[in-house]
Chains A and B, each alone.
Chain A
Amino acid sequence: MALSGMRGLSVFISDIRNCQNKEQERLRVDKELGNVRTRFKNEKATHLMFFLFTLTHIRIYGLTPYEKKKYVWKMLYIYMLGYDVDFGHMEAVSLISAPKYPEKQVGYIVTSCLLNENHDFLRIAINAVRNDIIGRNETFQCLALTLAGNIGGREFAESLAPDVQKLLISSSCRPLVRKKAALCLLRLYRKNPDVVNVDGWSDRMAQLLDERDIGVLTSSMSLLVSLVSNNHEAYWSCVPKCVKILERLARNQDVPQEYTYYGIPSPWLQVCLILNISIIRWTWICPGSYSSPSSMGLTIIVEQLEDITVSREVKTMRALQYFPEVEDPNTRRSLFEVLQRILMGTDVVKNVNKNNASHAVLFEALALVMHLDAEKEMMSQCVALLGKFIAVREPNIRYLGLENMTRMLMVAEVQDIIKRHQAQIITSLKDPDISIRRRALDLLYGMCDVSNAKDIVEELLQYLTTADFAMREELSLKAAILAEKFAPDLSWYVDVILQLIDKAGDFVSDDIWFRVVQFVTNNEDLQPYAALKAREYLDKPAIHETMVKVSAYVLGEYSHLLARRPGCSPKEIFNIIHEKLPTVSISTIPILLSTYAKILMHTQPPDRELQSQIWAVFSKYESCIDAEIQQRAVEYHALSMKGAALMDILAEMPKFPERQSSLIKKAEDSEADTAEQSAIKLRAQQQNSNALVVTDQRPANGAQSAGQLGLVKVPILSNAVRFSSIDHKITHGQDQSAAERVSHANGALTVVDPQPPSTPSPDLLGDLLGPLAIEGPTGAAPQSEASVASGLEGGVDADALAIAPIEEQANAVQPIGDIAERFHALCLKDSGVLYEDPYIQIGLKAEWGGHRGRVVLFLGNKITSPLNSVQALILPPSHLRMELSLVPETIPPRAQVNVKLRLPAVLNKFLQPISVSAEEFFPQWRSLSGPPLKLQEVVRGVRPMPLAEMANLFNSLNLIICPGLDPNPNNLVASTTFYSESTRAMLCLIRTETDPADRTQLRMTVASGDPTLTYELKEFVKEQLVNIPVPSRPPVAMPSHIQPTSPPPSAISDPGALLAGLL
């Protein structure tokens, strides 16, 4: 056993090794840490007395250098064991400035292990490091350069780079210092190219290339690679020298014995040389003026390849990949000859290292072949070789074979040849090594197209049942994407997804099953098939909840198509679905209720027994604690009592607007779409995605309408819509079918990224409130200007609403309800009615997260005839970035209305609650000491409200009340974080001091890290406190209460009200 040479350290390590368990180890470590801590503390105390005592006292009061060294090593050891060492960094750093080598060495090594470049303690060390670098002691210089090279950050670059540069080119320095200087400079330069001044370094680098020492040359060459890659032009003068060194090494073998590796003269140096020549040549190719030296370099590179073996070739060939192309036919020919020899002549040998080495070369050769755009024949050879590799026993080669085959997929012409190896690749999917399985999965995914999708996807599905959990999620996602992209027919697609849910339900995201429902809804020929499949799955014992959801949904919609089959009568369908109800979670129950209602509706003639069963279920859930379930139960119950009327409300779901699958979208973000011939895509093209969907609206009551055919123009939702809104549609099956008739159009818009509040603008808040103008056909530019003005003012009074009848004053439309009040309500919540008049209702639903949000406006036509030329003009607010999706053109006209509205995209939507503890709060509060970061204001005219209500208000503004921070019970302290696109989350703190005697005034203090934010937050909260309307009723009230002023034309089921219910 070799001992560390420090008895105390060895004893400690032995102790640790002898610990029986983790607990004992912890105790031993704690003891040692305590010991080290005390020693360091005492030492600090005696430090000052150092000069007062004679030399002998050092041994009594202070630590000897040996002891200090020993303790710092112990710290590092404890740190390596995984314990927190939160002290002693200072001691380690201070050892750097010790006068003697042993201590200094320990200081350097331990510091560079414990700290990283961002650590504050490192700053203390900079001076000591610099002193060592500029000092005369070369061993000290080595230590200092190593530390700076390993963990040096920006400040190191700023203060050390010139000195390091001096060392590198100094003629008096020995090679061991200079090679370290080169790599140290490389690190400093690579991390901070703007700080390290390398002007005029091309000459210096050229000089360095005359260096005889191979170590220095190797390091300098790495540095040169980095310099050159940043600025090609400057270093062209180095090329001839690089070529010369290369010649020297390659031809004369003029290299000390110790620098040969597996018989090759200094491979790494040659690598860098070649790399440099290649990068520099990169730029030469364009002007074409330096062709002679470059082709000379290239010739030599190619010759290099001839004396084969280890990693030099790897880099040589990697270097060659930086060439855009090889022009010279002779060079090209000899290059290909060499490559051919490598490809065909690499044998498997016994020695593992040698084998690895030769294959490293070979794989690099493969990459080069791909890069050089070789003839198809050569490419085919490569694929054939890889095909051999993926079947060998050596796992590294199998892995690399698969990896490189995946890369080969980029070459279009060999894709078919790769497909020949499909069987072997599928076998690799069952390899014992997960790394290899991953590669195989990637490759299968990459090579899948319409021709082999069936085989591959079915293989993936089969594998899914046995795959380890680490891979299941990826596997099922990939299978779903492939199935959608390359489905040869849609029934197959439905099969795949249902199997996927069956086998790996936990890993099937909602996106996937929404998508299948969407396809089934939009393709009539698919509906009976899907219903049948769903029915079959329900027979299985213990099916996944997602399967319950899909089956219930599909059967609710389409089970009547199966009615004649055995086991598919409404009653049987109901029974089998109802069996699952006790096993499902709250989120599934609403879907089941919708299904029941639909089954009931489809049962013609009505089956009394079934009816009473289903009604019993409804009445059971009418008192359910979950609001969604309760509401559905109540509504369905009431609706189903109405008999024939039910038919309307529960009519089949309309077709979904064609939209891109969110899965595919995800996949396409990273890869080019190759799914040209996929069935789904073809379908999508055949069906005009902007299709007119004709819905047969049965007259709800005879007097009302003469059997109108509602022409619904479905807008394409733009790709910018980030979250699929299908969830909303599906989970609200019944509502949606009603709403479909109502929202004769729906447009969606995606809003908004607030820009950082860093540019002080008193109008920030005003700008956040982008006005929305809905105009009639003649609405023109002047109006939008007017809207901008009102938007900027951000007034919430009558100005916010400008009803501008454009042609006939008589046509003026009165809004229903107080618009300002609605706006305020929407500031506090995320869905509700933004505007309503007898003709139109605008509902709003928003999702906010961090610095972005999505706002969907539902424009509902409340009358029975269409509204034409609807325009929703969203005026871009200056502090938000908007992405708009298309807005429908038709909600046909009865009235021409121009309504300007404020969208509730207000400050608090970009807040996220965070609760802070007293320890976090007070330092922050104190550090923000005064204006402009901390503002105080006495607010008068506050709407009087009890403290609890005010706390609620704050909470609903996402300002979370932190109780207990303020000793005065009349004060409220709240905190939140503000998100914007370019700033981090910013903490905001608010304190309001209320006066129990006078509730109409309070003093408010707001603090945050940004003056604008502080100001705007203060103004915003003030506005909320002063202006908040007393909600006389819930902002989204029960549908029947909502139109006090003008009863809607349609009496039986007011669409507007239904829309409100939808939200």
Chain B
Amino acid sequence: MGYDRKIHFVLLISRQGKVRLTKWYSPYTQKERTKIIRELSGTILTRAPKLCNFVEWRGFKVVYKRYASLYFCMCVDQDDNELEILEIIHHFVEILDRYFGSVCELDLIFNFHKAYFVLDEILIAGELQESSKKTVARLIAAQDSLVEVAKEQESSISNIIAQATK
């Protein structure tokens, strides 16, 4: 059914084949996940530049785009609109860019968890959840501040405890 399409998974792979983010919206076992990553990095990373952004894979289509040293890949059904998925990838990248301020691979390595937070605000269940970059940025900022506040509280508590046990 055309209207029940969704993204099956999202992969971020570096040019060296290191996985930087994986998100699975369809159930795959651990073994399948490893196999998919291996197969796809084998096909996608070896593709020369200036080829098209689509790879046919086991009856699905993987739409990918390279941004600097990172490949962003999303797997969809065969009859989905490839160019549209390419736009969702771009949407994701723009939001990351805005959040990190000119995002680079290192940001995503050391803050891989943040990338997950961002993705969770954009996609749920393989569907686009939020199309406003500003809203996503606001929600992530709110989460960050919650974490900060908790950290401060904690450190003040541990200060108290530390002083009490001196």
Residues of A in contact with B (beta carbons under 8 Å apart)? 1-4, 10, 13, 17, 55-56, 59, 64-66, 73, 76-77, 80-82, 84, 100-102, 105-106, 109, 113, 116-118, 139, 145-146, 149-151, 153, 176, 179-180, 183-184, 186-187, 190, 214-215, 218-219, 222, 225-226, 229, 256, 258-259, 261, 266-269, 275, 279, 310-311, 314, 318, 321-322, 353, 356-357, 359-360, 363-364, 395-396, 398-400, 432-433, 435-436, 438
CB-CB under 8 A for A214 and B23, given A101-B146, A101-B147, A318-B81: no
Question: In angstroms, how far is the closest chain B Cβ from the Cβ of A217?
Answer: 11
> Nearest 4 CB-CB pairs, A to B?
A360-B83, A395-B52, A187-B125, A258-B134
Question: In angstroms, how far is the closest chain A Cβ from the Cβ of B89?
Answer: 10
CB-CB under 8 A for A100 and B150, given A113-B22, A399-B54: yes
Residues of B in contact with A (beta carbons under 8 Å apart)? 1-4, 18-25, 27-30, 34, 37, 47-48, 50-56, 81-84, 86-87, 90, 100, 106-107, 109-113, 116-117, 120, 124-125, 127-135, 139, 142-143, 146-147, 150-151, 154, 158, 161, 164-165
**21 pairs of residues in contact across A and B, judged by CB atoms under 8 Å:** A1-B110, A3-B110, A3-B111, A56-B161, A76-B112, A80-B19, A101-B143, A105-B143, A180-B129, A184-B124, A190-B125, A218-B131, A225-B3, A261-B131, A267-B131, A353-B87, A359-B83, A363-B83, A395-B53, A396-B86, A433-B51
Interchain CB contact under 8 A, A153 and B27: yes
Among A100, A186, A258, point to the contact of B125 (Cβ < 8 A): A186
Interchain CB contact under 8 A, B53 and A396: yes
Interchain CB contact under 8 A, B110 and A176: no
Q: Give the distance in Å from the alpha carbon of A604 to the alpha carbon of B21 in the complex.
A: 77
Q: Give the distance in Å from the alpha carbon of A763 to the alpha carbon of B11 in the complex.
A: 54
Further pairs besides A109-B116, A226-B3: 20, Cβ < 8 Å: A3-B111, A77-B112, A101-B147, A105-B143, A106-B113, A109-B117, A113-B23, A184-B124, A215-B129, A218-B130, A222-B128, A225-B3, A225-B4, A267-B131, A310-B87, A314-B81, A353-B90, A396-B54, A433-B52, A436-B52
Interchain CB contact under 8 A, A357 and B112: no
Q: Give the distance in Å from the alpha carbon of A101 to the alpha carbon of B145 in the complex.
A: 11
- Which residue of chain B is the closest to A225 with respect to CB atoms? B3
In the complex, chain B residues whose CB is within 8 Å of the CB of A258: 132-135
Among A116, A150, A322, A433, point to the contact of B28 (Cβ < 8 A): A116
In the complex, chain B residues whose CB is within 8 Å of the CB of A116: 24, 27-29
Interchain CB contact under 8 A, A73 and B113: yes
In the complex, chain A residues whose CB is within 8 Å of the CB of B139: 176
In the complex, chain A residues whose CB is within 8 Å of the CB of B2: 318, 321-322
- Which residue of chain A is the closest to B48 with respect to CB atoms? A432
Question: In angstroms, how far is the closest chain A Cβ from the Cβ of B94?
Answer: 10
Q: Give the distance in Å from the alpha carbon of A219 to the alpha carbon of B50 in the complex.
A: 36
Interchain CB contact under 8 A, A183 and B129: yes
Among A17, A65, A311, A322, point to the contact of B87 (Cβ < 8 A): A311
Interchain CB contact under 8 A, B130 and A179: yes
Q: Give the distance in Å from the alpha carbon of A214 to the alpha carbon of B150 in the complex.
A: 31
In the complex, chain B residues whose CB is within 8 Å of the CB of A55: 161
Q: Give the distance in Å from the alpha carbon of A396 to the alpha carbon of B28 in the complex.
A: 29
Among A13, A102, A150, A261, point to the contact of B110 (Cβ < 8 A): A13
Among A17, A59, A80, A186, point to the contact of B127 (Cβ < 8 A): A186
Interchain CB contact under 8 A, A102 and B129: no
CB-CB under 8 A for A396 and B48, given A102-B146, A214-B132, A219-B129: no
Interchain CB contact under 8 A, B22 and A80: yes
Interchain CB contact under 8 A, B111 and A2: yes
CB-CB under 8 A for A4 and B87, given A81-B18, A102-B146, A395-B51: no
- Which residue of chain B is the closest to A17 with respect to CB atoms? B109
Interchain CB contact under 8 A, B143 and A139: yes
Q: Give the distance in Å from the alpha carbon of A3 to the alpha carbon of B154 in the complex.
A: 20
Interchain CB contact under 8 A, B111 and A4: yes
Q: Give the distance in Å from the alpha carbon of A742 to the alpha carbon of B48 in the complex.
A: 62
Q: Give the distance in Å from the alpha carbon of A145 to the alpha carbon of B134 in the complex.
A: 21
Question: In angstroms, how far is the closest chain A Cβ from the Cβ of B96?
Answer: 12
In the complex, chain B residues whose CB is within 8 Å of the CB of A146: 120, 124
In the complex, chain A residues whose CB is within 8 Å of the CB of B86: 356, 396
Q: Give the distance in Å from the alpha carbon of A960 to the alpha carbon of B139 in the complex.
A: 62
Among A4, A81, A215, point to the contact of B135 (Cβ < 8 A): A215
Interchain CB contact under 8 A, A184 and B125: yes
Q: Interface centre among B87, B142, B151, by most A CB within 10 Å?
A: B87
- Which residue of chain B is the closest to A260 with respect to CB atoms? B132
Question: In angstroms, how far is the closest chain B Cβ from the Cβ of A720?
Answer: 27
Interchain CB contact under 8 A, A2 and B84: no
In the complex, chain B residues whose CB is within 8 Å of the CB of A4: 110-111, 113
Among A64, A101, A151, A218, point to the contact of B150 (Cβ < 8 A): A101
Interchain CB contact under 8 A, B34 and A82: yes
Interchain CB contact under 8 A, B110 and A268: no
Q: Give the distance in Å from the alpha carbon of A214 to the alpha carbon of B56 in the complex.
A: 35
Question: In angstroms, how far is the closest chain A Cβ from the Cβ of B41?
Answer: 10
Interchain CB contact under 8 A, B129 and A396: no
In the complex, chain A residues whose CB is within 8 Å of the CB of B87: 310-311, 353, 356-357, 360
Question: In angstroms, how far is the closest chain A Cβ from the Cβ of B90?
Answer: 6
Interchain CB contact under 8 A, B125 and A363: no
Q: Interface centre among B18, B131, B158, B164, by most A CB within 10 Å?
A: B131
In the complex, chain B residues whose CB is within 8 Å of the CB of A76: 112-113
Interchain CB contact under 8 A, A275 and B3: yes
Among B47, B124, B142, point to the contact of A149 (Cβ < 8 A): B124
CB-CB under 8 A for A438 and B81, given A229-B3, A318-B2: no
In the complex, chain A residues whose CB is within 8 Å of the CB of B107: 2
- Which residue of chain B is the closest to A77 with respect to CB atoms? B112
Question: In angstroms, how far is the closest chain A Cβ from the Cβ of B11?
Answer: 10
Among A3, A17, A190, point to the contact of B4 (Cβ < 8 A): A190
Q: Give the distance in Å from the alpha carbon of A139 to the alpha carbon of B150 in the complex.
A: 13
Interchain CB contact under 8 A, B165 and A13: no
In the complex, chain A residues whose CB is within 8 Å of the CB of B27: 116-118, 151, 153
In the complex, chain B residues whose CB is within 8 Å of the CB of A149: 124-125
CB-CB under 8 A for A66 and B113, given A82-B19, A180-B129, A435-B55: no
Q: Give the distance in Å from the alpha carbon of A275 to the alpha carbon of B106 in the complex.
A: 41
